[in-house]
């Protein structure tokens, strides 16, 4: 009897025994100013075109969209005369929402991304990916709370336009 293969491929060859646990490095700002980092050897991110997704090494169907937000950071620093003054800057934070928690997977400071998880990057055209992988990404985006919010707003706008 033929076995059915229900696995969804990854953009890079991954095997569950090849786990990569990235050590946390020191932050250029107090770490509590962003979401708690997701540090695990079971998860990694895949970046395809403008989208990023959290994937699981052992469960190929696990796929969550990664969101980006900007966080304004203000920290006290000493000026050249030794006086304290506030230094403000913006940090881009990539994060995921699951298990009723929000966890950071990366942040960008001074145009450099620091990743808490291993990241695979696909630089080709999305049409060249296997259909099962494209469908996984699409279904992941459709399950996000932002999709529902945007869809409700679209319906509201259609109703407003039809009442004019």
Mean pLDDT of 52-70: 91
pTM over 0.85: no
Q: How far apart are CA 3 and CA 11, in angstroms?
A: 23
What is the overall mean pLDDT for the chain? 84
Contact 56, 32 (CB under 8 A): no
Domains of the chain, by residue range, sit at 31-163
Strands (E), the chain: 43-48, 51-56, 63-78, 84-98, 101-109, 112-115, 118-122
How confident is residue 19, by pLDDT bands cut at 50, 70 and 90?
low
pLDDT at 17 over 50: no
How confident is residue 139, by pLDDT bands cut at 50, 70 and 90?
confident
Helix (H) or strand (E) holding 150: helix 145-163
Mean pLDDT of 27-46: 91
pLDDT at 53: 94
Q: How far apart are CA 38 and CA 103, in angstroms?
A: 5
More confident position, 23 or 76: 76
């Amino acid at each position: 009897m033929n076995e059915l293969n229900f696995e969804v491929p990854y953009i890079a060859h991954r095997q569950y025994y090849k786990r990569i646990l990235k050590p946390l490095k020191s932050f250029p700002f107090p770490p509590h100013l962003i979401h708690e980092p997701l540090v695990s050897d079971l998860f990694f991110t895949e970046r395809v075109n403008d989208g990023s997704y959290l994937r699981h090494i052992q469960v190929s169907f696990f796929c969550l969209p990664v969101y980006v937000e900007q966080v304004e950071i203000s920290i006290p620093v000493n000026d050249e005369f030794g006086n304290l003054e506030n230094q403000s800057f913006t940090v881009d934070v990539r994060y995921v929402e699951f298990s009723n928690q929000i966890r950071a997977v990366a942040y960008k400071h001074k145009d450099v991304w620091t990743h808490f998880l291993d990241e695979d990057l696909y630089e080709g055209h999305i049409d060249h990916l296997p259909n099962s992988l494209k469908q996984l990404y699409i279904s992941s985006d459709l399950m996000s709370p932002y999709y529902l919010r945007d869809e409700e707003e679209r319906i509201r706008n259609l109703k407003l336009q039809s009442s004019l």
